[in-house]
């Protein structure tokens, strides 16, 4: 993973300014999963755009209209392995599993730093 992007991501996760959500990258109530926070940064950098899906309260992002997995455009931009649920480099649970299983953004940020700084 690109270190500059990782730093921006973990800083945002630790900021306390983003409401944590589950089962979707972004919800109509403003909540994000940890991967949705990364998508926000990608949107800011012009990599992808969010669009609202009227049929659900979820937002979609990227060319594949993803609402629950990280779009390939974001994976490539961030320099990650090609896995929409993002397996941790050290193995074990994916970021989706950690987020949806109840791990806090701060705890997820710690795991991201630990795993990707080893590379």
pLDDT reported for residue 33: 94
Q: Per-residue confidence at 119, pLDDT binned at 50, 70, 90?
A: very low
pLDDT reported for residue 56: 53
Q: Which of 1, 29, 13, 8 is nearest to 110 (CA)?
A: 13
| pLDDT (tens digit per residue) in 90-110 | 677 788 889 999 999 999 999
- In the predicted structure, residue 24 carries a pLDDT above the cut 90: no
Distance separating alpha carbons of residues 103 and 46, to the nearest angstrom: 29
pLDDT reported for residue 72: 87
- In the predicted structure, residue 41 carries a pLDDT above the cut 90: yes
CB neighbour list of residue 68: distance below 8 Å, 6 or more residues apart: 23, 24, 25, 58, 96
Q: Per-residue confidence at 7, pLDDT binned at 50, 70, 90?
A: very high
- The arithmetic mean of pLDDT across residues 43-62, rounded, is 74
pLDDT reported for residue 65: 65
């Amino acid at each position: 993973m690109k270190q500059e992007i990782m730093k921006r991501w973990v800083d945002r996760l630790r900021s306390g300014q983003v409401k944590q959500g589950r089962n979707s990258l972004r919800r109509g109530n403003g909540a994000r999963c940890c991967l949705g926070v990364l998508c926000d940064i990608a949107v800011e950098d012009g990599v992808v755009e969010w669009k609202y899906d009227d049929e659900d309260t979820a937002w979609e992002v990227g060319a594949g209209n993803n609402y629950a997995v990280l779009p390939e455009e974001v994976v490539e931009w961030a320099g990650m392995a090609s896995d929409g649920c993002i397996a941790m480099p050290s193995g074990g649970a994916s970021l989706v599993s950690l987020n949806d299983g109840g791990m806090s953004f701060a705890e997820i940020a710690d795991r991201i730093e630990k795993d990707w700084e080893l590379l």
